[in-house]
Amino acid sequence: MKKLITLALILISTTALADRPVLGVAEFKNESGAGWWGGGVGWDLSGMLANELASTGAFRVVERANLESVLNEQDLGASGRVRADSAARIGELTGAGYIVLGTVTSYSENTRSTGGGISFRGIGVGGRRTESYLAVDLRVVNVNNGEIEYVRTIEGRSTGGGLNLSAYRGGFGGNLSNFENTPAGEAIRAALMEITDYLECSMVIQSRSCLATYEEREDTRRERTRSKLRF
């Protein structure tokens, strides 16, 4: 009996793993004026998001090497980036069921002094407070039919205060290595974690409370944006 129960649990576990959504994360695009954006950053963000998604255990993630060459061959339009007649081919060659597309559409950084501050041998130590904001337009495309199944604008925010060292500190790796311990780096990480949580909620958990949380956040974002517009 114990062996049968163990075997059943293994089968259930295996089935659950097999049923996990298979995602490929495309190169991020940039439509903002972010000063930290440069050559290679789009794939750096793709890799960071892929790591976040894989770490949840809720998804299977296609390796960049299996995805990049295929995406480079496709005519990916600006509206959806995946043509319906080429989407199935992407799925067949990469094993992905969905392609995650991210476009950085807004970045802002505001630094203000909180008083005080000294400089010693070129390294500044000052009382400053920096606020950073990052917005990413997210789309998830079903590779079997080319349809956009999930779409959302995700925001990442960070606030740094107190004493700040203006010396270099790395850690992200790649083209973003200079930004890990900066407000920009924190906003990036916050946005990627928010994307991961949203996709896990929408594609895997799908509970009412979870989905309601993100609908509320989306309503708040839209209302905040609307209040700044003049019609």
Cβ(48)–Cβ(102) below 8 Å: no
47: in domain? yes
> What is the domain-level CATH number for residue 38?
3.40.50.10610
Angle between helices 41-55 and 183-200 (to 10 degrees): 50
Helix (H, G, I), strand (E, B) or coil at 23: strand
199: in domain? yes
69: in domain? yes
9: in domain? no
202: in domain? yes
- Cβ-based neighbour number of residue 139 at 10 Å: 19
Write down the pLDDT at residue 81.
Answer: 61
Task: Give strand pairing partners of 136.
Answer: 104, 154
Strand residues in the chain grouped as ranges (E): 22-25, 29-30, 60-61, 98-113, 118-120, 123-142, 148-160, 163-165
Angle among Cα 115, 121, 124 to the nearest 5 degrees reads 25
60: in domain? yes
For 144: left if phi > 0, alpha if psi spans -120 to 50, otherwise beta; the answer is alpha
**Inter-CA distances, 127 with 86, 118, 123, 157, 189, Å:** 54, 9, 13, 20, 24
Cβ(52)–Cβ(192) below 8 Å: yes
| Strand pairing class (22-25; 98-113) | parallel
Distance CA 118, CA 136 (A): 36
214: in domain? yes
| Residue 196 structural domain | 21-228
In the chain, which stretches have pLDDT less than 50? Answer: 4-16, 77-79, 120-123, 161-171
Q: How many domains does the chain have?
A: 1
Write down the pLDDT at residue 91.
Answer: 80
Amino acid identity at 142: N
Write down the pLDDT at residue 119.
Answer: 52
Cβ(130)–Cβ(57) below 8 Å: no
Write down the pLDDT at residue 57.
Answer: 95
